[in-house]
Structure formats: C-alpha cells, structure tokens
Structure 1
Amino acid sequence: MAYIITEPCLDTKDASCVEVCPVDCIYEADDQYYIHPDECIDCGACEPECPVQAIFPDTDVPPEWTSYIEKNRAHFE
C-alpha cells in the first residue's frame, strides 16, 4: 500500500506532510506534491498533517479522486 495525494492539494501545496515524512518520499511538482510509492514505508505520518485532507491510502481514495492513483504512478515513471 502507498499513500496518494489528491485534488485538494492542487495549488495549496502546504509542506506539512513533507516535514513529517521520516523517509523523505514526498516530492514537489508544479501543481502538487507526490508520494513515491516505492519509497513510502506506509507509516501514515503525512495523512493527519495535511490541512486540506488530501492524503489517503491508495485503497481508500474517494471515488471522485481515483484518477490521482494513476497520476501519482505516472509522475514517477
């Protein structure tokens, strides 16, 4: 399992999640942050820190934002 950053992060880009990540697997892009699925240790530290509730385990992404699972994967190809 990995964590996915979804639509509420767009243009918000609060770095609270980056600051608490113990393995530095959250990367900044133009419009949002992305969590590297191969580097994430599934600790969940980032999820409660997000002020816009944009971070979800990949198995719990709300239906309206499931496209962000593929967007995250494609970002790291």
Structure 2
Amino acid sequence: MHREFAEMEFAGLREAIEKVELVDAHAHNIVALDSSFPFINGFSEAAGDALASAPHSLSFKVLILLFLFLFPSKEL
C-alpha cells in the first residue's frame, strides 16, 4: 500500500484519534490525565507476572506499529 493512499484512507481515523485525549487498545473509557491507572494497561489487560511479558506479545507490537504509522516521529 502506498503511503499517500494509506494517509488518505486513514485521514478520518487520524482526525478522530487526535480529537480524543486518550483511548486504550480496547476503546475503554478515556483515562484522566491525573489518573493513577498504569499506562501499560492502556495496551494490555494482562496482570501480575504476565504484565511483564505484555510488551513482547504480538498484539502489543502490532499496536505500537499502528501508532508509529498513524503518528510518525522524527525522534525515533
């Protein structure tokens, strides 16, 4: 898929995402900026010892790649 086509296809999604302060991977309620909710729980429902493995899961890695595609950064 060419980048230009992908950008047009996802333009509406990108606009919607940019208008929302924060939505987790499962589209749960928005978390307040001063919340004590752990950041990683926005990307995984794992708990306890399993939470340490969450960043190594396929679903987590795919989500990170999606974010990088939708919100490219020159710093990375």
TM-score if structure 2 supplies the norm length?
0.32
Give the greater-gyration-radius structure (CA).
Answer: 2
Write 1 or 2 for the structure with the bigger share of helix.
2
Structure with the bigger RCO (C-alpha within 8 Å, sep 6+) is: 1
TM-score (norm 1): 0.31
